A and B are shown apart, each in its own frame.
Chain A
Amino acid sequence: MSDPILATPFPRRAGAALKDDFLQEALTIATTKFIDLRKEAFATLPEGDALRDRARAIKEATLQRLDHYLGQLADNVERLGGHVHWAATAQEAREIVLRLCRDRGVKMAVKSKSMATEEIHLNEALEHAGVTPIETDLGEYIIQLAHERPSHIIAPAIHKTKGQVADLFSRELGGQFAADPEVLTAVARRELRQKFLQADMGITGANFAVADTGTLVLVTNEGNGRMVTSLPHIHVAVMGMEKVIPSMTDLMVFLAILARSATGQKLSSYTTLVRGPRRPGELEGPEELHLILMDNGRVRQIAGTLREALYCLRCGACLNVCPVYRQIGGHAYGYTYPGPIGILLTAMLEGDRSVKDLAHASSLCGACKDVCPVRIDIPRMLIELREHLDRDKIAPWPERALFGAARRLMESPALFHASARIGRWLQRPFVSAGRVRRFPLLGGWTATRDLPAVASRTFTERWKDLR
């Protein structure tokens, strides 16, 4: 899918974000607040570290018997009266949803926040097919009205001011609304309440799916997940296949750490366990439930470099602590999933070539790994990705040439000593106060960073005298 955002190269997108004063302030406030809330939440949970180890082990154990758990999940969903669909690609997943809409004459679908449906660009496909998709998470609703994309996994409209939202609502919904979150939230409640009651289909993702019981689990704060799964006649859940977990006992381990990692809450306001369609005697709930289990690049990572990224719970904690995300925000990454984990997920879904630049949008400081509720080793995988970009000749040739030359220099003591002498001579016109501030052909580096100058005497030269 061609994307206007990606027409601008990543360094330029990042550069623009750095110059956006409002974005800078919003990012600092939001990420700092999320970091503090998370810290407090884990401070009151002495068993937090043990729970994280357990959660990690559950994810790994599930992957080691993934075929079994997926089969069991499908059997149980069907036993409860649901339908299970298997989608190898984003294209297939979209087609399944569109076919359901077509066969059942669906005109409007309400959606609760779902990264999986963002990932497959479902809204565009629905609109194209004449179905109106309505995002019902307040943040998603705002960016849908603004025709933008989420800039944070759990706070999609983090980049907008209340003034911008008030203008947007006034323009799109007709009215004159004050720039007051309370007022704007009430406006959204009124607008969306009608949609919930009118819609023919509810579309969700799933935070977890319990194989043992066939239960889909949705975690929300607003209650839109409950609306979407209670009121329309048809419920469609689109889920990455790695979201399956074995049992209810396992689910409790994840619930104990998910909200704490995401928003610092002990539990989110609503955790909804959906067990098939409406039961006999129930007056509410969908008559039909469809679960779409999606591969879309995931399966090949079971034995791939990015295996651990399949543990991800989509909590967003790694975004908040990332020194790169904190500076450039979500949009500059250019894809559905931003932040450190986003780089890995983008490589997983779109291929290594798509992260040619993004793989370097990390200082490898390891803060992401420290906060990850399932301890995903993001820095290790980023390094491996960089290695592959070099190996597969995806990295730009000057970069490969430069690092190739550096390697040859370091492998040969004679060349290395010679290079120090040549370097001292070459750098002379460009050095000021011990730093190289610009250098021919290295503008990409020196535009934002200084290069340390080659010392007037190398260590080995001094060592000879000292001895």
Chain B
Amino acid sequence: MTTRAEFLDRVRREMGKTRGLFPAESAPRLARPQEAADAVRRQLVERWPHALDRFKTEFERIAGVFHRVSRLDEVPAVLARIAAERGVREIIAWDPAALGWDARAALEPHGLAVRLAPAGGDEADRRRHRDDAARAPLGLTGVDWALAETGTLILASGPGRPRSTSLLPETHVAVFGPSALLETLEQVGMMLEARHADPALAGSGGAINFITGPSRTADIELTLTRGVHGPKEVHVVFVDGPGGAA
């Protein structure tokens, strides 16, 4: 088997033979990503309503369903309506610490059965959680960021915030507030650089998913079909007011 040293030696040997290359640089990196990320956040304190308009337009363009409420305590009623319209009673949700509010306490009065993703556990918990996630028709999550220019939800995995909650159920509902909004992919890059540079966050979460609308395919005669593996529907409940859940 080829070793790392052998492989890289071959690469270096070939690199040594090249000549007449045009000067090229990769994209310039920020010296202080955290400061840049903070600057973006400060700008968005003012600008988020514009970002939200753009988000809504783009999100609806890719078949996302957008809801908006002014306070967090209005969210359960919206969720109850979404569930009722789909004849759904079971929901799997992120852990309260990850979501920012307790979905079980808030939704059970509406007659919904909520299973919370445990924030850790052993192999038995793992199997139980997986069965729950595979069975649940509706998954409830927060987001880390919502990208306006493409209508994209960005979710980092971690304890209490499993990747499957936004993947296995037929309907995915994400709840977030103004502080999650970003305008451009470039800003997302800054946030990811800042996260990477932050020792407290660098190790967290084995996966970060960018979700741009429902799961889709056009593999049979180019006919667009939704929900091939992941959700058929993606909903956003945007919470304006204090206590935004993001």
CB proximity of A176 to chain B, nearest CB, Å: 17
CA distance A332 to B216 in the complex (A): 28
A369 to chain B, nearest CB (A): 16
Nearest 8 pairs between A and B by C-beta? A223-B230, A281-B159, A139-B219, A303-B17, A60-B24, A271-B210, A252-B189, A302-B14
How many angstroms between the C-alpha atoms of A295 and B126 in the bound complex?
38
Residues of chain B lying within 8 A (CB to CB) of residue A271: 209-210, 212
Q: For B8, list chain A residues within 8 Å (CB).
A: 67, 70-71
In the bound complex, do residue B217 and residue A221 qualify as a contact, i.e. CB atoms below 8 Å apart?
yes
Q: Does A86 contact B (CB under 8 A)?
A: yes
Whether the Cβ atoms of B211 and A269 lie closer than 8 Å is: yes
Q: Which A184-235 residues sit within 8 Å CB-CB of chain B?
A: 184-185, 188-189, 192-193, 196-197, 212-213, 221-224, 226-227, 229-231
Identify which of B212, B221, B229 contacts A224 (C-beta below 8 A): B229
Question: Once the chains are docked, how many angstroms separate the CA of A156 from the CA of B160?
Answer: 37
CB of B105 within 8 Å of the partner chain: no
Give the residues in chain A near B219, CB-CB below 8 Å.
Answer: 137-139, 142, 155-157
Q: A58-B26, A249-B189, A252-B188 are in contact. Are A279 and B17 (CB under 8 A)?
A: no
Q: Is A121 an interface residue (CB 8 A)?
A: no
Interface residues of B in 117-163 (CB under 8 A from A): 117-121, 125-126, 129-130, 134, 149-152, 157-160, 162-163
Residues in chain B near residue A138, CB distance under 8 A? 217, 219-220, 228
| Contacting residues, chain A, for B186 (C-beta < 8 A) | 252
The verdict on B203 contacting chain A, using a C-beta distance below 8 Å, is yes
User: A189 is contacted by which of B163, B185, B206, B227 (Cβ under 8 Å)?
Assistant: B227
Q: How far is the CA of A282 from the CA of B120 in the complex (A)?
A: 6
Complex-state Cα separation, A263 to B111, whole angstroms? 42
CB neighbours (8 Å) of A272 from chain B are 207-210
- The interface residues of chain A lying within 8 Å CB-to-CB of B126 are 283-284
In the assembled complex, B39 has its CB within 8 A of some CB on chain A: no
- A197-B134, A253-B27, A302-B18 known; A275 and B206 CB under 8 Å? yes
Residues B163 and A86 in contact, CB atoms below 8 Å apart: no
Interface residues of A in 260-283 (CB under 8 A from B): 263, 265-283
Tell me the chain B residues, 218-246 only, with Cβ under 8 Å from chain A: 218-223, 225, 227-231
Instruction: Enumerate 30 A-B pairs (CB-CB under 8 Å) in ascending A order.
Output: A26-B221, A29-B222, A60-B21, A61-B26, A64-B18, A88-B2, A155-B218, A155-B219, A155-B222, A222-B216, A222-B229, A223-B229, A223-B230, A224-B228, A226-B207, A226-B229, A227-B167, A249-B27, A266-B149, A267-B152, A267-B210, A275-B205, A275-B206, A275-B207, A279-B159, A283-B118, A283-B125, A283-B126, A283-B162, A285-B206
